[in-house]
A = this chain, B = another copy of it.
Amino acid sequence: MRPRFILFGDSITQQSFSPGGWGAGLTDRYARKADVVLRGYSGYNTRWALFLLGKLFPAGLQDAPALVTIFFGANDAALPDRSHKRQHVPVPEYKANLCEIISAVKSLSKDTLIVLITPPPVYEKALQETAWKLYGADPEEAFSRTNDAAGRYAKACVEAAGQAEASVIDLWTCMQEKPGWQTRYLRDGLHLTAEGNAVVFEKLLEVLNDKGLSFEAMRWDFPEYGDVNADNPVKTLWELQNCGK
């Protein structure tokens, strides 16, 4: 009935409806025009994401989404010799997996807007402090992710978008342009604060506006109440709806 925006990703997507979250912001902004569908899978990497494609984007799906955001990498970038190694995916495989996800979405419709989002930067000091609190002084637990590693995945994500002709938001780079990004945008060194969520929201709106999916360009789901003729609501509600106003 309404165009769908599917948000596919890991915990940074799953948590995007917490207070100030970018998914909630998108739903609010596109109320009456698009349905935002949350498909965030906390802890998942792109290797595991591939197994979900058949259910999320099954071949032959009639109602192709208008937008799909693909936001993985924070778990793929977990270091291979530390406590989160089971989530690790090597960079070349990560990049190939992103291309496979894009390909699955594109197979449904050429009209779907696909937006890749790179992993955000990592503030190692806060991550280590979190690990110390949770696990004590186990050096295996600390240093499970580095900002350098996240940067390599961000670069690969940008390259995958270029190769597969998808849009991309280089969050890793643009967040670090702001002084104080470490605590301004990240609440535990990895996940986003409300202000960090706002960066994703604003960058995403820019892409949507640029690619013909601005709020203004989209059709209302039933007319605004000021356009309803109170003396003859059936006329306005159905005629306006059917003429697409």
Contacts and interface: CB of A to CB of B under 8 A. Distances in A.
B14 A31 contact: yes
A226 B238 CA distance: 50
How extensive is the interface on chain A, given as a class?
Answer: 35 or more
A75 to B, nearest CB: 8
A38 B1 CA distance: 12
Contacts of A25: 17
B238 A51 contact: yes
A32 interface: yes
Contacts of A86: 230
Contact of A226 (B17, B20, B43, B222): B43
A35 interface: yes
A176 interface: no
Interface string A192-221: 001000000000000000000000000000
Interface in A82-98: 86-87
A28 B37 contact: no
Contacts of A44: 225, 228
A106 interface: no
A55 interface: yes
A24 B225 CA distance: 23
A233 interface: yes
Contact of A51 (B40, B194, B230, B233): B233
Given A24-B28, A44-B225, 15 more contacts: A1-B55, A14-B31, A19-B19, A19-B24, A21-B28, A24-B27, A27-B27, A32-B41, A41-B222, A41-B225, A42-B225, A43-B225, A43-B228, A44-B228, A75-B225
